[in-house]
Structure 1
Amino acid sequence: MCGFAGWLRWDGAPLPVEERRALLHRMGAQLARRGPDDEGIYDDGVLSFVFRRLAVNDPAGGRQPLYDETGTIVAAVNGEIYNHAALRAGLAGRHAFAGRSDCEVVVHLYEETRDAAFLERLRGMYALLVWDREHRRGLIARDRLGIKPLYYARLRDGLLFASELTALLAHPDCPREVEHADLDHGYIGGEKYTAVNYDRVPTFVRGVSMLGGGETLSLGATGAGAPRRYWSLLPAIARSRETAPRAPETYVREYADLLDESIRLHLEADAPVGVFLSGGLDSSLVAAAAARTARPHCFSVCEATTIATGDMARAAGLTRTLGLPFHPVRYDRATFADELDFSLASLEELVWTMDAPRFAPELFFKFELHRYAKTVQPGLKVILVGQGADEFAGGYSTSFSSPRRAWRDYVADSLEPRVRAAAAAGERAHAPFHCEMLARLTALQSHNLWNEDRVAAAFGVETRVPYLDHRLVEFLAAIPPVLHPELFWNKRIVRDAARRWLPPDLTGAPKVLFWQADDTSSVHAIMAACARRVYPAFRESYLGRDSATTGRFDALHRRVARGGPATRGPVQRLLADMTFMIFERMCGTLHALEVPVPPAEPSRLRPDADWSPEGTALMSGRDAARARSTGGRR
């Protein structure tokens, strides 16, 4: 996990060099957790940027910015180029490499093409900048799936860019008016947030844009171009209509081969690697495949919901079978609200971390899981996760929280409305699940990948997502629609491929969304306790004593204080409104504040070595009875 931030200025009147350096250090300070190991600066008066590095590959020789042999081409790369060994071999003899860094291939590939064509050869996750200092032209680009973020803002006389919104806001010229249309309003117990936008990736600030996955933007000494797409899923979808179907087993075998290669490549690092193991199919497959060549530490959330659904039992059983270090971490109301000493400063840190007015159970739990992992394994720099396995393989066709009887019900309930909406917008007709794939591309960037990136960056950890290797995604999109009901219903293609690594109790485990169960009252109790603890300090710091706004907040807080199931809505609303006001203040004042980002505090969470599926102290109601009767299995 690295990051960069800076600007391109074409008005011919750059700031004095001392001011430029000071401003770059301010922007870089906001990326300090993301890149804790080193800082490098490039500044030629037209292009100025700072790079913060997390040293994962070639710690000694991989410093950035990167340069070609003559110093003419300069680059900054946040991410990993997984096919760098093959690319390096192809460049050997024509180019001299300064070190072993995977990112150095970017400089030499651009050196040969001098345009965006080299991006088609990269396999990985990245946000990058390349600049030809002699001809004063270059580009910024983002990986195909949008795993790594890259913001930009157009100014009258230049362009700002940064890996995080806070780094962009540290520049005094950055726009900072909150975009209300982008806001999420709390959290719900379902598959998505209440305001998932499938059309575009939000930034929450008017005048600030996010470069889309698979897009590049050209840079020059006199201006910047419009975003241009260098990758799309549409060619793979077109192949699905042009190719005769093969036997389903053939697709399963080829998918397993591609996934096997992807996991192997994602394990490459000169630093310790771990796995976030939910106990579900996707992360279990990653852990099992990784265990053949590595011994990653596995971290799991031990909460009433994850016990009730059987996920904890499966995670424990798998790590025991594989002989992997296992870290079940206790999550309950008392621990999260009281022992963590959750406060206004805690909520502000989360909003700051997320680059967004968001606070929901999933990101909160993952944020604290990263903190715990770094506390017990300080050298840990890479975490593999199962994110992205569902979106393109039918993972949401049926699940624990949204059960359906057959593929046709999934199409009728979830996909046909999207098909009709696409037709109404004049888009080309696609098979229903292809419409879903295209929509999920944006949804991933808006939420899942956003959350994974930000919570990991807060602790100097790089999250890797082997299911989102673009070759895997293209492979799934190219499967003929006639086979979708067979291969994508209940994610059959992944389940059958997983038999290469996993036993039947894991390949047959139902899809369970994180923290979802019959009874989610334990999770909402955590959120309610956090809201109650934060509000008094929030009221003092953010609200006027006699304003109508204060009265509205007070009324919400009184409803939250009553407790009970009826408070779920008020808790969501109170947390959403508090995070919005924190975000709004952050946007308005960051440029005027000296805000060094302190190192992350160590975790106060405890390992939960004593849990068992029958241990109902964390559970209540239907989930406890269900766990007792099934031994944690369904």
Structure 2
Amino acid sequence: MCGIGGVLWKSQPATKKDLETIGSLIKHRGPDEHGIFLRDNLGLIHSRLSIIDLKGGRQPLCADNPNIVLIANGEIYNFKEIREQLNLRGRDTCTLSDCEVIIHAYLEFGLDFIQKIAGMFAFALWDGEKRRLLLGRDRLGIKPLYYLERDDGLFFASEIKALVPFMKAKEIHPPSLVEGLQNQFSSGRNTILSGVKRVLPGEMLIVEQGQVRSMRYWDLTRTSPIKIDYNGAEEMFSSLFETVMVQHMRADVPYGVFLSGGVDSATVLAMISRLQTNKILSFSVGYKGVEMKDELDDAQRIARLFNTEHVPIVLEANEMFSRIPHMVWSTDEFMWDYACLPTSFLAEHARNHSLKVVFTGEGGDEVFAGYGRYRKTFVECLVKKMANPKSGGFRTRGRWRNPWPRKVFGDKLAQFSKSYKTPFINAWSCTPPAWDYTKKAQYTDIVTELPEDLLVKVDRMLMAFGVEGRVPFLDHRVVEFGLSLPRSLKIRPHYGKVFLRRWAEKDIPMDHLWKKKRGFHVPIGEWLTGDFLNRLEEKLLQNKAIGNWFQRDGIRELFSAQRAKKKASREIWGLMHFAIWHNLFIEKSCSVAPSTKEDPLEFIS
């Protein structure tokens, strides 16, 4: 797990200074060592978090061909299997690094090589003979990769902040800002910063002769439904998931588990315990002095069941709020998921326990249909489709509920007030007509919220502390299996994720598996009160960026509603997050990370 970046100038040489500029802003992702490559107009930089082949896996990698240079972030989980295939074809690897197989696979299979590798990754591969640069991202978007095109060159990096110094002007892309406010994230090619773009999940960009073209190498809509009963599915999944877990557990350093108290992380821990005997560190989060029930007791029960060395973390409002500026800087994107805060503390504790790798249960709900929004009756689906045919009635409401968009959004945002629906409409319209509502809804979430919210949270919060997150439910082979299951194995009245719950019964108590889903909640609504709320309102009303994009009278009404306990915390949280993000990324250079203990209101100028 690492940070990568680079420059490809059109008519001038790349310099060490170019790379140092990028490297200074991604060094948190790879604190162990740094490497650079300079040749003519190309420069590559790699910040390494060493996990596999600690001594021999330094990057940039050239292997035995000096014309091919690679920098990569992530893990190629099937690298041993690929290496065996390559050896049989006469290719010998120079290191034990999982990433080296990318080079040899490219030399052996050409552009089709990316179909051979399974893992979470973002990479840049330079072919000096063909003067070709490849920028690839894994199928689900677990690892990030951004790029910036200018008339005089191309710049790319693992995080947006590393591209900011190369922007000639820092301007906000209004539709992405609306998406960020309404959806909690923005998705697709564009980011909130005009000109900074994403390499999409399942995509490889090919840069040749000054032109950038896209190659889609994976498309989940090609997944065909299978007719299968539970017994057949159980046999198929047991073999598949064991293979996936064995490959994901490959590491030359210890690893731990984040336990949420739910089904997914418990299932991952059960598989780890089945496949190895070392005592595992596990971590969970709860909250002090709140009415909302946390998941500490459930997580502790699972930890005892599998005899982990368990670390419960109990957080209070003050320490959570003092983490906000660091969280906003780390998040990089304008993405205001409450769960980023507790995840940041989990990552910090894991690193303080000398861990570089942790497993999480992310993706289980999307892949096996765990959310209530997937369980609509035929009549409900029909009514929703009639009301919103373009998106099948799925995800038609934003996080900002009426009347707040009309009252708070300024003129520059109001003209894009419906743009937040576009990603969901586009995703839904891509699905085959024969797919049922549940499968269409799963797919829509997998290509929108999953990569740009949940996986941003996991990647950025963990990498801010030099920790790698592994998400076995999002191995593309598991995703294809889950999506292909018949609806009857996914949902029933009052329950989702039926297949996974049944499959896990041999390891996990029934009352834990079949309890009502709670989700990874954070009591922000309870904490946005009193003096902090009053000071926040004053700061936001005086803030220039807020004044440019929002209506101050509407903001006053919003805060009045929160004081009257009318649930305006999401809207207020989004405004605060935007003001702090704007301060760090637009008004300043984002070159210095805030500490983990700051007054967030001091970052609203």
Common topology (TM > 0.5): yes
Answer yes or no: is 1:325 the counterpart of 2:300. Answer: no
Total equivalences in the alignment? 559
Answer yes or no: is 1:109 the counterpart of 2:96. Answer: no
Deviation at 1:88, TM superposition (A): 1.1
Answer yes or no: is 1:33 the counterpart of 2:28. Answer: yes
Aligned-residue sequence identity (percent) comes to 28
2:502 is matched with which residue: 496, 516, 519? 496
1:148 is matched with which residue: 143, 151, 171? 143
My pick for the range that moved more, 423-432 or 461-470, is: 423-432
Counterpart of 1:259 in 2: which secondary structure? helix
- Contact 1:5 / 1:161 at 8 angstroms: preserved in 2? yes
What's 1:628 paired with? none
TM-score of the superposed pair, with normalisation by structure 2: 0.83
Amino acid at match of 1:14: P
Deviation at 1:361, TM superposition (A): 2.1
What's 1:617 paired with? none
Gap change, CA 1:270 and 1:415, over 3 Å in 2: farther
Amino acid at match of 1:458: A
Deviation at 1:359, TM superposition (A): 3.5
Answer yes or no: is 1:251 the counterpart of 2:224. Answer: no
Deviation at 1:575, TM superposition (A): 3.5
- Contact 1:298 / 1:325 at 8 angstroms: preserved in 2? yes
Amino acid at match of 2:40: G
Gap change, CA 1:407 and 1:57, over 3 Å in 2: farther
Q: Deviations over 1:340-392 (max 9, x none)?
A: xx2xxx543322211123444211121122223323x0x21111111000112
Residues in 2 aligned to 1:106 and 1:566: alpha-carbon distance in whole angstroms: 55
1:584 is matched with which residue: 582, 585, 590? 582
Residues in 2 aligned to 1:353 and 1:54: alpha-carbon distance in whole angstroms: 17
- Contact 2:537 / 2:559 at 8 angstroms: preserved in 1? no
Amino acid at match of 2:6: G
Gap change, CA 1:306 and 1:285, over 3 Å in 2: farther
- Contact 1:217 / 1:224 at 8 angstroms: preserved in 2? no
Higher relative contact order (CA 8 A, sep 6+): 1
Residues in 2 aligned to 1:212 and 1:136: alpha-carbon distance in whole angstroms: 23
What's 2:396 paired with? none
Residues in 2 aligned to 1:487 and 1:48: alpha-carbon distance in whole angstroms: 56
Amino acid at match of 2:315: Y
Q: Deviations over 1:587-608 (max 9, x none)?
A: 43555x8x3558x6599xxxxx
Gap change, CA 1:454 and 1:426, over 3 Å in 2: closer
Matches within 5 A, 1:535-614: 535=536, 543=544, 556=555, 560=559, 564=563, 566=565, 568-569=567-568, 571-588=569-586, 595-597=591-593
1:236 is matched with which residue: 216, 223, 226? 223
Matches within 5 A, 1:253-292: 253-292=235-274
Deviation at 1:329, TM superposition (A): 0.9
- Contact 1:216 / 1:228 at 8 angstroms: preserved in 2? yes
Matches within 5 A, 1:173-252: 173=168, 176-183=170-177, 194-195=182-183, 200=188, 202-220=190-208, 222-237=209-224, 240=225, 245-252=227-234
Gap change, CA 1:488 and 1:296, over 3 Å in 2: farther
My pick for the range that moved more, 432-441 or 410-419, is: 410-419
Q: Deviations over 1:260-302 (max 9, x none)?
A: 3322322221122111101111111111221231422111111
Counterpart of 2:44 in 1: which secondary structure? strand
Deviation at 1:505, TM superposition (A): 2.0
- Contact 2:369 / 2:491 at 8 angstroms: preserved in 1? no
What's 2:358 paired with? 383
Amino acid at match of 1:44: R
What RMSD over aligned residues (CA atoms) do the two structures have, in Å? Answer: 3.5
Matches within 5 A, 1:300-449: 300-303=284-287, 311-337=295-321, 342=322, 346-375=323-352, 377=353, 379-397=354-372, 408=378, 411=381, 417=388, 418-419=391-392, 428-429=432-433, 430-442=435-447, 443-449=449-455
Gap change, CA 1:108 and 1:551, over 3 Å in 2: closer
Residues in 2 aligned to 1:110 and 1:588: alpha-carbon distance in whole angstroms: 39
Amino acid at match of 1:447: D
Gap change, CA 1:295 and 1:264, over 3 Å in 2: farther
Residues in 1 aligned to 2:441 and 2:56: alpha-carbon distance in whole angstroms: 43
What's 1:98 paired with? 94
- Contact 2:145 / 2:199 at 8 angstroms: preserved in 1? yes
Residues in 2 aligned to 1:77 and 1:445: alpha-carbon distance in whole angstroms: 19
Deviation at 1:543, TM superposition (A): 4.7
Residues in 1 aligned to 2:486 and 2:304: alpha-carbon distance in whole angstroms: 39
Amino acid at match of 2:392: V
Deviation at 1:107, TM superposition (A): 1.0
My pick for the range that moved more, 286-295 or 144-153, is: 286-295
Mark the runs of 5 or more structure 2 residues left unpaired by the alignment: 394-424, 599-605
Gap change, CA 1:585 and 1:309, over 3 Å in 2: closer
What's 1:471 paired with? 477
Residues in 1 aligned to 2:23 and 2:429: alpha-carbon distance in whole angstroms: 42
Deviation at 1:396, TM superposition (A): 0.9
TM-score of the superposed pair, with normalisation by structure 1: 0.79
- Contact 2:57 / 2:97 at 8 angstroms: preserved in 1? yes
Gap change, CA 1:26 and 1:423, over 3 Å in 2: closer
Gap change, CA 1:69 and 1:538, over 3 Å in 2: farther
Answer yes or no: is 1:85 the counterpart of 2:73. Answer: no
Gap change, CA 1:121 and 1:512, over 3 Å in 2: same
Gap change, CA 1:322 and 1:13, over 3 Å in 2: closer
Deviation at 1:125, TM superposition (A): 0.4
Residues in 2 aligned to 1:500 and 1:414: alpha-carbon distance in whole angstroms: 38
What's 2:9 paired with? 9
Amino acid at match of 2:248: H
Q: Deviations over 1:56-94 (max 9, x none)?
A: 111111111111213121111100000011111112262
Amino acid at match of 1:155: R
Residues in 2 aligned to 1:410 and 1:264: alpha-carbon distance in whole angstroms: 41
- Contact 1:393 / 1:488 at 8 angstroms: preserved in 2? no
Residues in 1 aligned to 2:283 and 2:199: alpha-carbon distance in whole angstroms: 32
Counterpart of 2:74 in 1: which secondary structure? strand
Amino acid at match of 1:431: D
Mark the runs of 5 or more structure 1 residues left unpaired by the alignment: 187-192, 517-521, 604-634
1:511 is matched with which residue: 517, 523, 526? 517
Answer yes or no: is 1:524 the counterpart of 2:525. Answer: yes
Residues in 2 aligned to 1:482 and 1:309: alpha-carbon distance in whole angstroms: 31
Counterpart of 1:50 in 2: which secondary structure? strand
- Contact 2:359 / 2:469 at 8 angstroms: preserved in 1? yes
- Contact 2:185 / 2:336 at 8 angstroms: preserved in 1? no
Amino acid at match of 2:330: T
Deviation at 1:122, TM superposition (A): 0.5
Matches within 5 A, 1:5-84: 5-10=5-10, 12-14=11-13, 20-84=15-79
Q: Deviations over 1:415-465 (max 9, x none)?
A: 885337679958641322231132112221121111111111111011111
